[in-house]
Structure 1
């Protein structure tokens, strides 16, 4: 890790675009310790077993059928950065397209901001199911092994148990995207609408609101099926992880706020409460009706009034 090399990479940002994405990757990697990936045979088998058990458990608990990627990737932080630079570039494409020419000082600032964002995420992401929004490839499932080990040690919890909990959560996301082939395109169009409005200098609160509702449903359903499928108690893991985030330093708290981490936690809680109510009435399998087609997604009002969704969706 070298902050000097990271600063040099940002300072050398070039091109005509608003962001030099090559420099973003170089700077983020230079400022981030890659972490170790010397897995034992038992550890590699542990990841494979956790994912397979999560798939079987969630299929049984949720009553849905879905596939997983052929290969589950266990990554370093640098691997995660490399895998996500292109995704961020595609996502912010509408913004860059609106800028015909960018002064070098602004390009440097934009490049530095994105490098900080990617580096921060690379140090904090534990696992990720990625339907590769805005791309043409298949879905991906990967785990950032150095982060999983570091957080498990910091929380003083068993590494294998913590890894298994993360696997169940990410496979739960695979279940909902597998149950709803339309979901990736739906999210993509919502993201493009929100980013396009920002590119034109306006803030479409309706577009952002629709995106937030969809993400609340995505996170809430994953919490529901993970809760019903996970073969161990995990309240202590959630409580310790939340407490650790509250104890983060001021810079970390600021970055988390800017990146919407507080909103993500609210999505978990609000979405989980909605789907718990649906499951109480119709069972976990009945809650999967939300993924039958886009019209079955709850509205913002229905998230806080699940009985209204139940009355609307047979």
Structure 2
């Protein structure tokens, strides 16, 4: 008896789609969990099945990101604990000290809302809306590319059996992306120490918050008393929150810049098609890698590179200002320098969850010019004072540029004489040259190649030994000016 033909990967894939979208619920839960990079928890997978089937039915209504917050908070609760009264009191006192010290070094007004203390799951839930806002354009592009690829490759009989496969696959693709985003946010909740730790304004502009559990874990790696670390981080968080509350345009500008950059990411369906040709849908590792490795994100365009450079400059300016103000405010702390260096290195390197976000969305949020920006703010502070430094955040047009970061001396000179521009300097030099040429007093080279500063010998010569009607000499003292 001849061997029966074995189903290939495409047959397996089509069968998985048919069962999922038809609501038969016969898909291997471990396979689905592996595809989404999730633990094989039967209760969660059962809930996931329901969400994906609902997404398949409502795929034309946009991506449902509720699963992002649900998954993020579930991960955040793993290994987390509440805030005990002693830690709560110490954190509140740290914020009080931080507010007093900041008042001495910055003119940016204090917050009107009382600072908060977050558990990990509270942070995940509070920040999930901004994460989804940032990631939504990429999710929509991936879902659209997946829709197009499946629509192009699916046999006609499968389309007839599934009905509107494009709409269904768009919903499923978006839901899987939302789950992956929830994974990342949940892991981030175990890494961040404060609301503004990532640099992006994830919380409301009135909110400053510490995560006491993560602050304690951060302090364990330092040879510094935890109280000092807590105060230092409270100062940083308050400075960050005060800046965004004072510069009302700043939060919208940064988030809009990120979403506009993300909207420029377009996933061509042939990229999905090429990836699908190399994947066995029954292989959990391949499926997980396809979803989480960022393989679908195409290389950046020149326009995206320019947009990313502008975004990085703004993030570096924010972080550099926070560093400068924090350094001044925490000068009383014996080990503030050691804490600051650890924070800078941590900010520059990022954590595993941030790397996962960069891979998933194609956007790195770590400013590369943080030290240069901090040095520029320090120079402005030293030369012009805190009030003029902080006034630069009043309007977008006043904020220093990338060129200012490169040349802080020129920035200081411009701020000292705000009506004087580089064009003015060039005009003044051109006018001076013109007048020198007209009067004959322009220095010229002598025969030996040196500069001859002596006046000429012609009839228009001027000087103490000149003769004639145009001769000039010591002016008579008339007793008046």
Q: Which category describes the TM-score, using the shorter chain as reference length?
A: 0.7 to 0.9
Contact 2:63 2:140 in 1 (8 A): no
| 1:46-57 alignment runs, 5 A limit | 46-57=90-101
The yes-or-no answer on 1:38 pairing with 2:83 is yes
Contact 1:13 1:111 in 2 (8 A): no
- What SS class does the counterpart of residue 190 from structure 1 fall into? helix
| Cα drift, residue 105 of structure 1 | 5.5
**Number of the residue aligned with 2:130:** 87
**Number of the residue aligned with 2:192:** 125
| Cα drift, residue 124 of structure 1 | 0.6
**Number of the residue aligned with 1:281:** 383
The partner residue of 2:226 within 159, 162, 175 is: 159
Return closer, same or farther for 1:133/1:266 CA change in 2, 3 Å cut-off: closer
The partner residue of 1:169 within 236, 239, 243 is: 236
**Number of the residue aligned with 2:400:** 298
Q: Describe the superposition over 1:107-165 as per-residue Cα deviations: whole angstroms up to 9, x where unpaired.
A: 35413420222022111110114999699x65211111211112212335322221111
**Number of the residue aligned with 1:226:** 326
**Number of the residue aligned with 1:182:** 249
C-alpha separation between the residues in 1 aligned to 2:127 and 2:71?
Answer: 14
C-alpha separation between the residues in 2 aligned to 1:302 and 1:109?
Answer: 43
Q: Describe the superposition over 1:164-202 as per-residue Cα deviations: whole angstroms up to 9, x where unpaired.
A: 111000111123223323222332332332233236986
| Cα drift, residue 292 of structure 1 | 2.4
The partner residue of 1:215 within 306, 315, 318 is: 315
The yes-or-no answer on 1:140 pairing with 2:207 is yes
C-alpha separation between the residues in 1 aligned to 2:373 and 2:115?
Answer: 27
The yes-or-no answer on 1:78 pairing with 2:118 is no
C-alpha separation between the residues in 2 aligned to 1:219 and 1:244?
Answer: 13
Contact 2:313 2:402 in 1 (8 A): yes
C-alpha separation between the residues in 2 aligned to 1:134 and 1:169?
Answer: 15
TM-score, scaled relative to structure 2: 0.55
Return closer, same or farther for 1:209/1:27 CA change in 2, 3 Å cut-off: same
| Cα drift, residue 285 of structure 1 | 2.9
| 1:257-268 alignment runs, 5 A limit | 258=359, 264=366, 266-268=368-370
**Number of the residue aligned with 2:180:** 113
Q: Which has the higher helix share?
A: 1
Unaligned runs of at least 5 residues, structure 2: 1-37, 145-166, 269-300, 419-481
C-alpha separation between the residues in 2 aligned to 1:212 and 1:10?
Answer: 36
- What SS class does the counterpart of residue 264 from structure 2 fall into? helix
Contact 1:10 1:111 in 2 (8 A): no
- What SS class does the counterpart of residue 109 from structure 2 fall into? coil
| Cα drift, residue 274 of structure 1 | 1.5
Q: CA RMSD in A?
A: 3.7
Contact 1:58 1:225 in 2 (8 A): yes
Q: Describe the superposition over 1:14-52 as per-residue Cα deviations: whole angstroms up to 9, x where unpaired.
A: 322675422222323333325222322x43232222222
Between 147-156 and 235-244, report the one with greater CA deviation. 235-244
The partner residue of 2:372 within 270, 273, 276 is: 270
TM-score, scaled relative to structure 1: 0.81
C-alpha separation between the residues in 1 aligned to 2:92 and 2:193?
Answer: 16
Which structure is larger by alpha-carbon Rg, 1 or 2? 2
Structure with bigger RCO (C-alpha 8 Å, 6+ apart):
1
The yes-or-no answer on 1:24 pairing with 2:68 is yes
Contact 2:116 2:208 in 1 (8 A): yes
- What SS class does the counterpart of residue 254 from structure 2 fall into? helix
- What SS class does the counterpart of residue 195 from structure 2 fall into? strand
